[in-house]
Amino acid sequence: MVASSLGMGEYIASITTIGTPHHGSKTIDKLLRAPGSLFNIASFAVDNWIGLLGDTKPDFYAVCKDFSTEYALKFNRENPDVPSVYYQSFAGVMRTPLSDINLSTANLIVKMLEGDNDGLVSVESAKWGEKFTLLTGRTNRGVSHYDEIDFRRSPLSSKSEGDGVADICDVYRDIINDLVVRGF
């Protein structure tokens, strides 16, 4: 949005997203089509829970609308990529719902409706730009949305060898190093 709609593309070299639902969520689409009273009750419960965490004006329903596939399509159409900006995206994938107990239910539901995901965002929805990287864990745990935002500030694995992510900070460092090598 800043690069295209606000005309700042000439000042931006690259945009990197991690666990971003660029194409919206089919799971949210289904939630929004749920019978009104059922979704209103769920929204009320979520708003109260989020309020306990400190949000003074939570609005789960409005958030859900902004993550629908219809909204994402409209947003992407109104905010096209700027050709001179390098775009890349990353997505994590939980190996099982038990990979992150806080996102276990969401992971299970999103997996049934959309496929592999980080507990919130499907891999397919996160794909954007010239380069896409799938983040998998070094162990059977996988990489959750909470891991991607470094919610816990702890390594995902103590293993020093093997493929996959052991610590999300390494991923951030590698992204920066890659951008430097590319001349950004």
pLDDT, tens digit, 9 for 90 and up, residues 48-89: 988 888 899 999 888 888 999 999 999 999 999 999 999 999
Q: How far apart are CA 141 and CA 94, in angstroms?
A: 7
Residue 159 domain-assigned (yes or no): yes
Residue 53 domain-assigned (yes or no): no
Residue 96 domain-assigned (yes or no): yes
At residue 34, the pLDDT reads 81
Which pTM value belongs to this model?
Answer: 0.89
**Domain limits for position 88:** 9-22+83-181
Instruction: Please give the DSSP secondary-structure letter assigned to residue 183.
Output: T
Residue 16 domain-assigned (yes or no): yes
Residue 46 domain-assigned (yes or no): no
Could you tell me which residues come within 8 angstroms of residue 91 by beta carbon, excluding any fewer than 6 positions away? Answer: 18, 19, 118, 121, 122, 123, 126, 127, 132, 133, 134, 135
Other C-beta atoms within 10 Å of 95: how many?
Answer: 16
pLDDT confidence band for 19 (50 / 70 / 90): very high
Q: How many folded domains does the chain comprise?
A: 1
Q: How far apart are CA 95 and CA 181, in angstroms?
A: 32
Residue 110 domain-assigned (yes or no): yes
pLDDT, tens digit, 9 for 90 and up, residues 97-115: 999 999 999 999 999 999 9
At residue 144, the pLDDT reads 95
Q: Is 155 left (phi over 0), alpha (psi -120 to 50) or beta?
A: beta
Residue 27 domain-assigned (yes or no): no
CA distances from 104 to 73, 100, 107 (A): 28, 6, 5
pLDDT, tens digit, 9 for 90 and up, residues 101-151: 999 999 999 999 999 999 999 999 999 999 999 999 988 889 999 999 998
Residue 92 domain-assigned (yes or no): yes
| Residue 131 one-letter amino acid | K
Contact predicate 113/32, CB 8 Å: no
